[in-house]
Structure 1
């Protein structure tokens, strides 16, 4: 989410606070004291029996021995053998050797914003890759080489003001390794997902060998690692394209949702539009009917234009209060949408300035890095008994209007607590488990739920109904989120899932790499014909 999405100060804050009445609003604006840890709703998996290894196997340096881990849903509390935070390739090799010797599964984790146990497995070893965060910019090659634990936030700071990342998620909190593992996409409808900006990957296989994977070298492995949920190798580092940090003029328009396909056709035909996304109304009376279309159009370079240093998002408490009040009832949802329509564009932060004084009425200018440089601190809180859940659905572009109509019916019939709904465009993605085998619109939902058994049951029903709606429109759903779907729903959306799991067994025959998602669904496809593992080029043992 970009900083514009909750840029509410002054009048909007006063209006929302006045409407709060007797509500105790201080906790709604308060900074969180740490990650939430609510419950464990993940499927119970068979236990893992650790074996006694030879004394010659080195013990990794544990950052946590035993205990539990969780993810951003706060609903995935899982007991693990421990957490290792490697700072070098040798540390990764030591951890893998230890896990092989003790027959323990290994999962690589970043900031753990997947919400269904994709970053860990019960009883397993978790590699906290955030210790591997080196960043090296090559201005001549227009690439940046980064450790898999580096965040997009840090990368933007390293390449700004001259360069910007080509493709990243729409906010900057995620790690590069995590984004590659789900093949994340963002605001650039021309650049596509992260896969399109990847020059190459340096990875460690289950047997400890380090290889390079790209479109030209170990290409089959590359297609399985990108969007492969950490099941084929540990991503050590990546070489990414960077692009000029263009200056954009920000624009927006309010439209009826039925006009969106024609509106996007205009955007797609205009090469000057570098970034775009859409917000749908979450106000009850206009639910998913009004749409705000945001565009960032390239502005001619001018020697008097100055790109300001990247700053952190301000007014975090006000934004957090706005979001949390919107979860409370329909009045606050309506006020939040009214504020986005009528106030945000009047107080937008313009980060590109002129060396001389600007004239009245000049366009609001930003650098490419600015809209995505948002760590969304205002979305995190310590509120008890509730949590926020992400969904994402990919719908053929000619089916977006009936999909939105069906989604609205589901939301209203189930009284879903929708905090945010947005649309972005994705092109064809050619990885092995692709969410976009054809051009699609991505519908991203941010939903609130109680952390009770009843709240989880209602979210399971909502998720299942939305997946069925997506399938009816020949679409697919994103897999990094909660595991509220059946193997049959998974196969209907991804007919290639059996071949994907078979390829995983070929690349990792001993099953070293695993996570809760794989353990939940792979057994249903175990009878799929075994895949033949391609030969590896340039493999080398870890240093």
Structure 2
């Protein structure tokens, strides 16, 4: 719990937001109050909110336009990826790089430099063409790889420490029709098959791995799930199926503190994979998932998300070590997803200094 001074909602207008933010900066300097920036508020930890400070709610600032000739989306930093996807869908375009869930904000994702499940891709930084930044003086600076390039590198992954991100120019791609494929493997064979089925296959666009976490066969099985481009006209994004989403969440949350639930989820997901194999989806449909699918509504526990980036050459060794480290009666492991991340050449605080596999852990911890 972080005590704050106030929350200020910004306007959805470039002229108005600049005027308002300059006034807030003057007020913060005069009264010596720190400013923190918030979007969808999914960034982990109280470090994103300064104690007794002002919180700028950037969510209302979500103006957007598209340049379909050069495939560039200009968007307000408060917009959610969901907003961008729904807008781009009208133009048969899609996001180049983003996280697994569309309920995060553009500015927040840039500030943590999240990565996605786009095939063999660097983090979000690689798809950023430029952005405008208001610094502590109230000056508006354009930041790119050629203009204010040091700030460009620092702001990406900088958690809002260097200014307020306003407008962002992002690379966009075509909204393609993709066909689902999957294979069950032992972890020993994952890297070999990843190279063969994914890296060497130009048709693959999206991919992720999932490790088995039940006590029975703990970390002894993994699924490699991927989507190949096919020649078929993409359909529009269908409305969210609330009943289907509720069922997915129920299956996922049933794994908390339950060996039976973990085994059941593994069996159900693999059974569903067999049914869905060769099923087609649009890129936008696959990217448009909400984090509420895994939300913890139990007030007596909290979820902890951690990620570790492991060089490809250490993949098998890392999993062997996990078998000794992870079993722990005080914390409950709910999920391990594997994603490949290419080297990041843009962010100063780059977590991918070479090609790595990101192991995304979700734990559940009971409160005392």
Equivalent in the alignment of 1:444: 360
**Partner Cα distance (1:188, 1:237) in 2:** 24
Equivalent in the alignment of 1:498: none
Question: What do residues 46-78 of structure 1 show as CA deviations (whole Å, max 9, x unaligned)?
Answer: xxxxxxxxxxxxxxxxxxxxxxxxxxxxxxx11
Shift of 1:163: 0.4
**Partner Cα distance (2:107, 2:248) in 1:** 29
Aligned length: 359
Equivalent in the alignment of 1:250: 180
Shift of 1:389: 1.4
1:317-466 equivalences under 5 Å are 317-346=246-275, 348=276, 363-414=278-329, 416-430=331-345, 431-452=347-368
Residue ranges of structure 2 left out of the alignment (5+ in a row): 12-16
Higher normalized contact order (CA 8 Å, seq sep 6+, divided by chain length): 1
Q: In the alignment, is the contact (CA less than 8 A) between 2:234 and 2:282 conserved in 1?
A: no
**Partner Cα distance (2:171, 2:142) in 1:** 16
Q: In the alignment, is the contact (CA less than 8 A) between 1:84 and 1:95 conserved in 2?
A: no
Q: In the alignment, is the contact (CA less than 8 A) between 2:179 and 2:227 conserved in 1?
A: yes
Q: In the alignment, is the contact (CA less than 8 A) between 1:166 and 1:191 conserved in 2?
A: no
- Please state whether the residue corresponding to 1:338 is helix, strand or coil: helix
Equivalent in the alignment of 1:309: 237
Q: In the alignment, is the contact (CA less than 8 A) between 2:100 and 2:117 conserved in 1?
A: yes
Residue ranges of structure 1 left out of the alignment (5+ in a row): 1-76, 349-361, 453-543
Identify if the C-alpha distance between structure 1 residues 273 and 153 changes in structure 2 by more than 3 Å, giving closer, same or farther: same
Candidates 282, 288, 308, aligned match of 2:213? 282
Identify if the C-alpha distance between structure 1 residues 381 and 191 changes in structure 2 by more than 3 Å, giving closer, same or farther: closer
Q: Which has the higher strand share?
A: 2
Shift of 1:251: 0.4
Identify if the C-alpha distance between structure 1 residues 111 and 294 changes in structure 2 by more than 3 Å, giving closer, same or farther: same
Structure with higher Rg: it is: 1
Question: What do residues 432-478 of structure 1 show as CA deviations (whole Å, max 9, x unaligned)?
Answer: 111011111100011111122xxxxxxxxxxxxxxxxxxxxxxxxxx
- Please state whether the residue corresponding to 1:391 is helix, strand or coil: strand
Identify if the C-alpha distance between structure 1 residues 306 and 397 changes in structure 2 by more than 3 Å, giving closer, same or farther: closer
**Partner Cα distance (2:144, 2:175) in 1:** 25
Shift of 1:203: 0.6
**Partner Cα distance (2:135, 2:314) in 1:** 40
**Partner Cα distance (2:175, 2:234) in 1:** 12
Shift of 1:405: 1.6
**Partner Cα distance (2:214, 2:5) in 1:** 45
Normalization by structure 2: what TM-score? 0.94
**Partner Cα distance (1:154, 1:111) in 2:** 12
Candidates 190, 195, 217, aligned match of 1:260? 190
Q: In the alignment, is the contact (CA less than 8 A) between 2:89 and 2:236 conserved in 1?
A: no
Equivalent in the alignment of 1:292: 223
Identify if the C-alpha distance between structure 1 residues 451 and 79 changes in structure 2 by more than 3 Å, giving closer, same or farther: same
Shift of 1:265: 1.4
Deviating 4+ runs (over 6 angstroms): none
Identify if the C-alpha distance between structure 1 residues 403 and 415 changes in structure 2 by more than 3 Å, giving closer, same or farther: farther
Q: In the alignment, is the contact (CA less than 8 A) between 2:3 and 2:51 conserved in 1?
A: yes
Asked if 1:238 corresponds to 2:168, the answer is yes
- Please state whether the residue corresponding to 1:97 is helix, strand or coil: helix
Shift of 1:190: 3.5
**Partner Cα distance (2:241, 2:314) in 1:** 36
Identify if the C-alpha distance between structure 1 residues 344 and 307 changes in structure 2 by more than 3 Å, giving closer, same or farther: same
Q: In the alignment, is the contact (CA less than 8 A) between 2:237 and 2:284 conserved in 1?
A: no
Shift of 1:411: 1.4
**Partner Cα distance (1:380, 1:209) in 2:** 39
Q: In the alignment, is the contact (CA less than 8 A) between 1:189 and 1:427 conserved in 2?
A: no
Shift of 1:102: 0.9
Equivalent in the alignment of 1:10: none
- Please state whether the residue corresponding to 1:284 is helix, strand or coil: coil
Question: What do residues 152-173 of structure 1 show as CA deviations (whole Å, max 9, x unaligned)?
Answer: 0110000015100000111101
**Partner Cα distance (1:149, 1:293) in 2:** 34
- Please state whether the residue corresponding to 1:307 is helix, strand or coil: coil
Shift of 1:95: 1.5
Identify if the C-alpha distance between structure 1 residues 336 and 415 changes in structure 2 by more than 3 Å, giving closer, same or farther: farther
Equivalent in the alignment of 2:32: 103
Shift of 1:143: 0.9
- Please state whether the residue corresponding to 2:304 is helix, strand or coil: strand
Candidates 79, 83, 92, aligned match of 1:150? 79
**Partner Cα distance (2:280, 2:177) in 1:** 7
Q: In the alignment, is the contact (CA less than 8 A) between 1:419 and 1:446 conserved in 2?
A: yes
Normalization by structure 1: what TM-score? 0.64
Identify if the C-alpha distance between structure 1 residues 345 and 374 changes in structure 2 by more than 3 Å, giving closer, same or farther: farther
- Please state whether the residue corresponding to 2:129 is helix, strand or coil: strand
Q: In the alignment, is the contact (CA less than 8 A) between 1:310 and 1:373 conserved in 2?
A: no
**Partner Cα distance (1:409, 1:260) in 2:** 20
